[in-house]
Structure 1
Amino acid sequence: MAEHRTRRLIAVMMAPMLLAGCMVGPDFAPPDPQLPETSFNGDAGVAVSDARLPPPTDPTWWAVFRDPVLTGLEHRVADANLDVRTATIRLAESRFQRGVTAAAEFPSINGDAKYTRELYSQNGIISLLGGLLGPSASGGIPITPINDYNVGFDASWELDLWGKVRRQVEAADAQVDQAEDQRRDALVSSLAELARDYIQLRGVQTQIGIANDNLKVDRDILQLAQQRQEHGVQNGLDVENAAAQVESIRAQLPTLEQQESQYINALSLLLDQPPGALRAALGRPRAIPLAPPRIPLGIPSELARRRPDIRAAETQLHAATANIGVAVGAFYPSVQLNGTVGLDALDYTNLWKGSSLQYMVGPSVSLPIFAGGRLKKTLELRDAQQQEAAIFYHKTVLQAWHDVVNALVSRRLEQTRRARLKSQADHSRQALILARARYNDGVAEFVTVLDAERSLLQAEQQYATSTMNVSLNVVQLFKALGGGWEETFPDPPVVVSTVR
């Protein structure tokens, strides 16, 4: 019989430990991104394997442009960009919130100390004692003030029998991972935005250079027309047409200079600088950064691990799945262990004696019986939120796939267009040389020279714009591939306590 009681006692003691391994609700399984294993889009997206090329997630992908100014600016983004710094703060917030959530797994212990001086009313409940004490108390019971000293602590601990708290911690862990990937996404986007603004700045400066070069040519043509007029070879019409062409090109410069200033200011904003702060560093024109002919793509199915927005969508789905377990756990009984231990005495000299000890300890069970449908509707809400997160994940993966394919197609077609524009510019330049020679020989009309010059200006501007677009498409491709993805994060910001 004694052995049987011992087994029952052990079973009772082990039951909470066994139940502690139970977690209600669905377990999260990483979704299948359903991305291809070979190429993004046929021949346009064949995976590249070249040891000389950086991996798609190389954090310094902009080095392929071989522009030291761009490289110097990119190295400042992680520390200076306000969006990245905000995402860093949010990451720290998610970690702090995770700590708050995880605290529910441990007992809560509070210490307290209390002193009161009390005086009971003679006309209150004390007056009922007069009848019990007999005639001797007919004159009333003498009441004097008393002191009450009390020190001790109380503790409570809710047993996580159904895993509700662990599901809350699981959701908080997923939210920390989501905040990490959101910071990565902010960094990837900021790096790409800075590269785009920088390339566009160099494109505008190239356009300004083209306009100035053509302005010099048109001034030479105007001077030639004036000389021929002075010698009576031509009339004043040629001079006026040449002068109009000069003013037409000069009129383009203010718009281009305005765009130059705007891109410099955009770069200053990305690096937390006031307007014009980078004028000295960026005002001197440089050539448009050119990308290499080959770009590492990697395997399309790995895109789900490289793109921070896809990873963030997956962790959002993970958190939504864990929250279903939290909602399911609310249907189960809640078991809490409570205890209070303290010393109580009317005289301070007796407070620390063993006879002043008092305590209260015992479990409490709370079972939801009726909540007006709140628990059921909460569970239905969490189910709907999980379905929404699953759709958002699928859309994010599909959007990433589209981004890569669109960038590949744009880059390939723009490279073809750029080659043709270069050929057009070469022919236009040769046509202008021939037109000027024939005009000098008096066998061609002046309008032929003007048309040739306008064609050359247009071809050179289109070629410069196409060169800029090729580099912009490369930046977009690196961003679509998740380039700039980081492994480590900076230290969390210093938190200044406001507790007084």
Structure 2
Amino acid sequence: MNGATPCDGERRVMGDRRNAARAARHAPLVLGGGIAAFWMALMLNGCAVGPDFVAPKPEIQNNWIESTDARVVTTGDVMSHWWRTFNDPTLDRLIQIAATQNLPVRVAGLRILEARAQLGVAIGSMYPQTQEGFGAAQENLISSRLANQANLQHSFASFALGFDASWELDFWGRFRRNVEAAGANMGATVADYDDALVSLTAEVARTYAMIRTYEVFIQITRENARVQREGLDIATSRFRNGATSELDASQARTLLESTLADIAPLQSSEQQAKNALSTLLGRPPGSVDALLYGPQYIPTASSRVVVGIPAELLRRRPDIRAAELRAATESARIGVAKADLYPRFTLFGEIGVQSSSMSTFLAPGSRFFTTGPGFRWPILNYGRLTNNVRAQDARFQQAAVTYQDTVLKAQREVEDALIGFLKAQDSAINAQRSVQAGQRSVQLSLTRYREGAEDYQRVVDSQRILLQSENRLADTQSSIATYLIALYKALGGGWEVGAGKPIIPEAMQAEMARRTNWGKLLPAHPPPATDELAPPTPAGKAPILRKPIW
């Protein structure tokens, strides 16, 4: 092909289009000297229009705001199986079950299979797009009332059998860009799968901490009710002995009944949290009680936490990698749209036999064939193709900005969880002191009331304050665990739980294999790790043909 092409720096000038058109017009002149050599050279000299993807540069802070706190460690790797820091075998077991049975994670795994199949479709489009056999057996009758019927045969048969093929050459890289886009999209689904595991592990741990928190709340409430019942017995005894009025007994009973009334809503919330955990485990409600063995305490961990540095989020967080790969997908599709601006070169051919009689169907002379090159070039498209490129460019820019926004939100989530974790620990110290003081206050008020030195209102107040203090302490301890879970989720920990495991269960794979020929896509091997995912090879550097996925 003579003259410049739009590939070198994508110089979209009219001279490029005139040179391409001139080459297309002169194509028939060189067919006799070697049609195959010409068109293979045309294809191999082709390049890929459109931009090669370059990841946008997001704004990354140098270090965390709270990095100077002694409890924050910025050196070392974030724990891959971070839930083990709670040293709770029950939680470990729940997360392992959820990783293999959670239904949304299975859906994410199935989307990987779908994307792999779509990549196979894109690769297959690089080969001859039309390859089909054809045949027909017809009996024809022409109307006898047509004009100019002299020597016209009104009834005749027609038999044909043949094969035809058509191959649009990937001169402008349209198909290679489409493969590039499909490869990036498949990588994004892998990152989505890992992100589903990150969310799952965090949600299982958070729900488990919630269940344990409600159990502690119920224990606190029942223990306070026991203490209040003792106060009621004292007040009732003093009233019967004439030492006090009935008011003291009434106040004591009011406080006791009010405390007991709090138990039912807590039990309701506890059961709802268990139902949520059942769903996360892929089980019907009511099936997790047997799994919640062990002591009923709020999960606790070390006061120190390894958070690494902000730049590591780009490698660890699957949602950031997914956003980057989706931007790569949209970038490659710009090239697909731009290729429509230029002519499409095609090789086509048809061969077969044709006869009006079965007796001469395979006789010499019944063979026919048609072959040659062709091109199509949409010229008067009234801006449709150009605006399609512009629309695709806007989609890419949206994806690039979304990627940058995802990075910023990830940093904010880490900072929010980190400050919450640290300040909840500080608050827990004061809450613990408040509980100790409240317990002492209850003991003293009961003693002084028994001795007649105080009225019962002081007892009521001290018991009410103790209950509030103990609930506040439990809530703060729960916040420490919840913030730590949120922090590890924000750091991108948890997707490693799926390492080395199939993305969908073997039983489901067998069911799919019985229903459909999945070829080499089943068994579904584990996907690459999130930190190994990278945008696919740019179309301009990719091979013209790749091995098809049969």
TM-score by length of 2: 0.81
| Paired residues for 1:342-421 under 5 Å | 342-421=352-431
Q: Which residue of 2 aligns with 1:15?
A: 41
Q: How far has the Cα of 1:438 moved from its partner?
A: 2.3
Distance 1:299 1:353, change over 3 A: farther
Distance 1:248 1:359, change over 3 A: same
1:238-269 per-position Cα deviation (integer Å, ceiling 9, x unaligned): 21111111111111111111111111111122
Distance 1:448 1:402, change over 3 A: same
Q: How far has the Cα of 1:335 moved from its partner?
A: 0.3
Q: Which residue of 2 aligns with 1:114?
A: 136
Distance 1:90 1:449, change over 3 A: same
Partner SS state of residue 147, structure 1: strand
Alignment partners' CA distance in 2, 1:354 and 1:37: 81
Q: How far has the Cα of 1:430 moved from its partner?
A: 1.5
Q: Which residue of 2 aligns with 1:73?
A: 94
Whether the aligned pair in 2 keeps the contact of 1:184 and 1:308 (CA below 8 Å) is yes
Partner AA of 1:470 in structure 2: I
Alignment partners' CA distance in 2, 1:433 and 1:63: 39
Distance 1:491 1:277, change over 3 A: closer
For 2:276, which of 266, 282, 295 is the aligned residue?
Answer: 266
Between stretches 421-430 and 181-190, larger displacement belongs to: 181-190
Partner SS state of residue 115, structure 1: strand
Q: Which residue of 2 aligns with 1:138?
A: none
Partner AA of 1:370 in structure 2: L
Whether the aligned pair in 1 keeps the contact of 2:59 and 2:408 (CA below 8 Å) is no
Partner SS state of residue 368, structure 2: strand
Whether the aligned pair in 1 keeps the contact of 2:348 and 2:373 (CA below 8 Å) is yes
Q: Which residue of 2 aligns with 1:165?
A: 175
Q: Which residue of 2 aligns with 1:135?
A: none
1:88-138 per-position Cα deviation (integer Å, ceiling 9, x unaligned): 2222222222222222100131012222223344554772xx3xxxxxxxx
1:65-84 per-position Cα deviation (integer Å, ceiling 9, x unaligned): 12222222211223322222
TM-score by length of 1: 0.88
Alignment partners' CA distance in 2, 1:352 and 1:285: 87
Alignment partners' CA distance in 1, 2:245 and 2:158: 118
Whether the aligned pair in 2 keeps the contact of 1:313 and 1:392 (CA below 8 Å) is yes
Whether the aligned pair in 2 keeps the contact of 1:39 and 1:47 (CA below 8 Å) is no
Distance 1:325 1:41, change over 3 A: farther
Q: Which residue of 1 aligns with 2:468?
A: 458
Between stretches 316-325 and 86-95, larger displacement belongs to: 86-95
Q: How far has the Cα of 1:191 moved from its partner?
A: 1.9
Between stretches 29-38 and 232-241, larger displacement belongs to: 29-38
Between stretches 39-48 and 430-439, larger displacement belongs to: 39-48
Q: How far has the Cα of 1:41 moved from its partner?
A: 4.6
Alignment partners' CA distance in 1, 2:257 and 2:313: 52
Q: How far has the Cα of 1:497 moved from its partner?
A: 4.8
1:348-394 per-position Cα deviation (integer Å, ceiling 9, x unaligned): 34433453321100111111211121011101101111111111111
For 1:240, which of 226, 250, 253 is the aligned residue?
Answer: 250
Alignment partners' CA distance in 1, 2:471 and 2:434: 11
For 1:178, which of 188, 191, 197 is the aligned residue?
Answer: 188
Alignment partners' CA distance in 2, 1:379 and 1:92: 29
Alignment partners' CA distance in 1, 2:48 and 2:365: 45
Whether the aligned pair in 1 keeps the contact of 2:417 and 2:484 (CA below 8 Å) is yes
Alignment partners' CA distance in 1, 2:133 and 2:65: 63
1:27-61 per-position Cα deviation (integer Å, ceiling 9, x unaligned): 001222332354465425954335xxxx4261x32
Alignment partners' CA distance in 2, 1:295 and 1:63: 13
Distance 1:148 1:57, change over 3 A: farther
Whether the aligned pair in 1 keeps the contact of 2:73 and 2:305 (CA below 8 Å) is no
1:173-218 per-position Cα deviation (integer Å, ceiling 9, x unaligned): 1111111112222221122112111111110110000000011111
Q: How far has the Cα of 1:294 moved from its partner?
A: 2.1
For 1:82, which of 86, 100, 103 is the aligned residue?
Answer: 103
Q: How far has the Cα of 1:491 moved from its partner?
A: 4.7
Partner AA of 1:82 in structure 2: L
Corresponding position: 1:99 with 2:120: yes
Alignment partners' CA distance in 1, 2:433 and 2:219: 20
Distance 1:61 1:255, change over 3 A: same
Whether the aligned pair in 2 keeps the contact of 1:221 and 1:242 (CA below 8 Å) is yes
Corresponding position: 1:276 with 2:286: yes
Whether the aligned pair in 2 keeps the contact of 1:38 and 1:46 (CA below 8 Å) is no
Q: Highest Rg: 1 or 2? A: 1
Corresponding position: 1:32 with 2:54: no
Alignment partners' CA distance in 2, 1:245 and 1:146: 105
Partner AA of 1:34 in structure 2: E
Alignment partners' CA distance in 2, 1:383 and 1:465: 50
Distance 1:498 1:307, change over 3 A: closer
* Structure 2: tracts of 5 or more residues without a match: 1-29, 518-550
Alignment partners' CA distance in 1, 2:231 and 2:247: 13
Partner SS state of residue 75, structure 1: helix
Q: Which residue of 1 aligns with 2:15?
A: none
For 2:502, which of 473, 486, 490 is the aligned residue?
Answer: 490
Q: How far has the Cα of 1:436 moved from its partner?
A: 2.1
Partner SS state of residue 165, structure 2: strand
For 1:334, which of 337, 344, 348 is the aligned residue?
Answer: 344
1:260-289 per-position Cα deviation (integer Å, ceiling 9, x unaligned): 111111112222323323244449871111
Alignment partners' CA distance in 2, 1:41 and 1:32: 24
Partner AA of 1:153 in structure 2: F
Q: Which residue of 1 aligns with 2:436?
A: 426
Alignment partners' CA distance in 1, 2:492 and 2:157: 71
Whether the aligned pair in 1 keeps the contact of 2:334 and 2:393 (CA below 8 Å) is yes
Partner SS state of residue 76, structure 1: helix
Q: CA RMSD in A?
A: 2.5
Whether the aligned pair in 1 keeps the contact of 2:428 and 2:476 (CA below 8 Å) is yes
Alignment partners' CA distance in 1, 2:164 and 2:259: 85
Q: Which residue of 2 aligns with 1:49?
A: 75
Alignment partners' CA distance in 2, 1:250 and 1:370: 81
Identity rate of aligned residues, in percent?
Answer: 36
